[in-house]
Amino acid sequence: MTFLKQIGRRRFLGVLGGTALMGAVPGAVQSAQRAATASSTFTPDLEIELRAVQDQVPLYQGPSTNVWRYRARVLKGDAQSVSHHPDSPLGPVIRVHRGTRIRIHFINELPQPSVVHWHGLLVPEAADGHPRHAVGPGGRYVYEFEMINRAGTYWFHPHPHGMTGPQVYAGLTGMLIVTDDEERALKLPDGDRDVGLVIQDRSFTRDNQLRYMGQGGGMMGMMGGMMGFLGDRIHVNGRPDFTLAVERKPYRLRLLNGSNSRIYKLAWSDGSPMTVIGTDGGLLAAPVSRSYVTLAPSERVELWVDFSSRAAGEEIGLVSLPFAASSGGGGMMGGGMMGGGSGPAQGSGFPVLKVRVGQGAAVSEKLPEKLASMPALRPEQAHNVNNPRVIRVTASGMRWSLNGRVFEMEGVAPDEIVRMGTTEVWEFINEAGMHMMGAMPHPLHVHGVQFRIIDRRVHPSAMAAWRSVSDGHVDEGWKDTVLVMPGERVRVLMRFESYPGLFLYHCHNLEHEDMGMMRNFLIKV
């Protein structure tokens, strides 16, 4: 049975589970229905129809690959706001200027429930793509929000409970780019020289069909879930063997790790330093330089790359360098175990893409020394600076969890309520599984906010693995996801000022998220 047929079957489970949960809380059903239609008081500048469809794409020699993908169409406003990747399962790129009022009509043409989450965007609760707002096959949902985010690289993907991993894997991923006036004034590389690159790992059967985890089942399937899916082929923008043709000019490369579980340690093959200008929440205050960049699932980084100094016809590789994914040693899954899927272990090295430099004349441009304004946010502004809200990675049996709890559709514990308008320190602690299962990295993500990283500390016994990725963190910018390595504690600072309501925090290893390593938190007025 192919992967898509297999997950198509799971819809019965999904629908039953969903109905049972929704039935228990009538309010949830009502709010979903209310938000599912366009409101008469909201006047959009941009209106888009976004369909999740079943499709076939020629990816490899031989049969086409069955995929699930997003297709979009502008109904009102700037037709240039949407562009598709040809011959790719990847969703469209949506480009929006800050301040734009957007209405998106989502139509689910999949055989199972789905919902769209706008990763990194600050949107009202009803537009955030919470799993309780998933709509079944043939269902529709209307998202309405004003773009209040800073200029930067964001993305959208499905978020139905228990099925996010397979749906993203099947192809449902798109980049969303926000521009604003401050950024335009910088005159950064634009047009063909502003390139989005979504990096994902996949595995295929011999007849070119996607292969996901659990095929084989049993103990390996379960352990695969604990580790997450790792594919054996790297796709960029949905295509294998990706080559980017560039002119001898500076470029802006927007990298998104759209993989389910794989972490990349990205570097230029010739060892050139990387100039980073942006992170999850947009442009940095000033460019920073790194010898490599660590990119965990859902993280973004923007690079400024000057190809004018390159020889005509030169080829450069973007590679992922080897690193230590666990502190090694004990544990039944310690040190370099394979995940679900057939791919190389987490931390293996491999090529990601090639850049081919054109023959034209070299044109250089200066990168501004100052990029964007970054409002000061100091830990002392937090009411709990001396007593952070702790989010601890935990594990019970063969399941990862947060503070010992797994996801409940409507559940919010008393220690998961924050006040609108307050500033808080959260501390993510990854010390679980050091013995039984072997600790592993977890990319932890929070909805409804962008945060700043205050500091990181690591247990001495986990130092070697931590050191193998830590120089690649870009902690200077706004973040919505932070990689927390085994034995590491990270303190982050966030201000709840956008919208009140029920939002999520979770591990962005999608297999972990699907097994319940996700919780609600409530921003209360």
In our burial notation (b when 16+ CB lie closer than 10 A, e otherwise), range 441-464 reads: bbbbbbbbbbbbbbebebbeebee
Task: Please give the distance of CA 485 from its chain centroid, rounded to a whole number.
Answer: 17
Residues 414-453 that bind Cu ion (CB under 5 A): 442, 447
Q: Is 506 in the site for ligand C2O (CB under 6 A)?
A: yes
Q: Is 509 in the site for Cu ion (CB under 5 A)?
A: yes
Using alpha carbons, select from 310, 351, 327 the residue that is nearest to residue 433.
Answer: 327
Binding partner at 509 among Cu ion, ligand C2O, none, C-beta below 5 to 8 Å by kind: Cu ion
3-state secondary structure of 464: helix
In the list 69, 159, 310, 519, the residue contacting ligand C2O (rule: CB under 6 A) is: 159
Residues near 139 by beta carbon (within 8 Å), at least 6 away in sequence: 36, 107, 108, 113
Nearer to ligand C2O, 168 or 227 (CB): 168
Q: Is 130 in the site for ligand C2O (CB under 6 A)?
A: no
Q: Is 447 in the site for ligand C2O (CB under 6 A)?
A: yes
Residue nearest to ligand C2O (CB): 119
Q: Is 11 in the site for ligand C2O (CB under 6 A)?
A: no
Q: Which stretch binds ligand C2O (CB under 6 A): 61-69, 248-256, 394-402, 502-510?
A: 502-510
Contact (CB, 8 A) for 294 and 472: yes
In the list 132, 150, 157, 249, the residue contacting ligand C2O (rule: CB under 6 A) is: 157
Q: Is 157 in the site for Cu ion (CB under 5 A)?
A: no
Using alpha carbons, select from 315, 336, 351 the residue that is nearest to residue 235.
Answer: 351
Binding partner at 11 among ligand C2O, Cu ion, none, C-beta below 5 to 8 Å by kind: none
Binding partner at 504 among Cu ion, ligand C2O, none, C-beta below 5 to 8 Å by kind: ligand C2O
**Nearest approach, Cβ of residue 292 and Cu ion (Å):** 22
DSSP 141-163: EEEEEE--SPSEEEEEEE--TTT
Site track 103-122 with ligand C2O (rule: CB under 6 A), x = hit: --------------x-x---
Q: How many helices (H) and strands (E) does the chain have?
A: 8, 31
Q: Which stretch binds ligand C2O (CB under 6 A): 70-78, 90-98, 187-195, 503-511?
A: 503-511
- In the 3-class helix/strand/coil scheme, how is 108-138 assigned residue by residue? ECCCCCECEEEECCCCCHHHCCCHHHCECCC
Q: What is the largest CA-CA distance in the chain?
A: 66
Instruction: Determine the Cα–Cα distance for residues 152 and 445; give it in Å rounded to an integer.
Output: 17
**Nearest approach, Cβ of residue 160 and ligand C2O (Å):** 11
Interface ranges with ligand C2O (CB under 6 A): 117, 119, 157, 159, 298, 445, 447, 504, 506, 508
